[in-house]
Amino acid sequence: MCSVWEAGPGASYRIPGALIGVRGQSGVLSAWTGADRSDRGRAARMTGIELRSAAFNDHAAIPRRHSGEGGDVSPPLTWSAVPAGASELVLLCEDPDAPGGSFLHWLVTGIDPGSSGVAEGESPHGGQEWPNGFGRVGWGGPMPPPGHGVHRYFFRLWAVSESLSLHGKPTVDAVHRAVRGQELASGTLVGTYQR
């Protein structure tokens, strides 16, 4: 048996013998896998990270002050349920609705797995910020084309087993490929913005 779920536009994952579910309105994805069939079918649980912002709710509008036309200040984020054994956390914010394909707004690697969030306008503890799609290092707030409708901004936090091998100016696709196979758990928060 093989289950498939959508992880975002253009990305789906297969987990043999898995039960997939979303907890509450937090957008936290959890998977239970029957990895050890010799143990009478008992399922091992892969935990989901709970990712939230005090600035906006899941699937709600991101305040203007966090946008490129506002203060361009990164939003505050908090997280919990990071699994033991994570070597680091990776934070990504992408806009899959951009005219040219997924646009990178924020990428931070090497975040301390013992941390529980990041304050508004700050970089996560221990993290290395990378160039965004605007060509600047760090946060680049929402700035969709005027009249292009509502854009979705996926904030993704991964707990990974090893440091990612990224170089130069990584693309959204390069980050997703690098995380594949290293992911211990993840959490997603979606904000929206339009001009």
Express each pLDDT in 100-117 by its tens digit. Answer: 999 999 999 999 999 999
Q: Do residues 127 and 110 make contact, with C-beta atoms less than 8 angstroms apart?
A: yes
Say yes or no to pLDDT of 19 above 60.
Answer: no
Rounded Cα distance, 45 and 177, in Å: 23
pLDDT of residue 157: 98
Q: What is the pTM of this model?
A: 0.77
CATH fold of the domain at 49-193? Phosphatidylethanolamine-binding Protein (3.90.280)
Q: Where are the domains of the chain?
A: 49-193
pLDDT tens across 47-98, in order? 599 999 999 999 999 999 999 999 999 999 999 999 999 999 999 999 999 9
Please name the residues in contact with 88: beta carbons below 8 A apart, sequence gap of 6 or more: 109, 110, 111, 112, 113, 126, 159, 160, 163
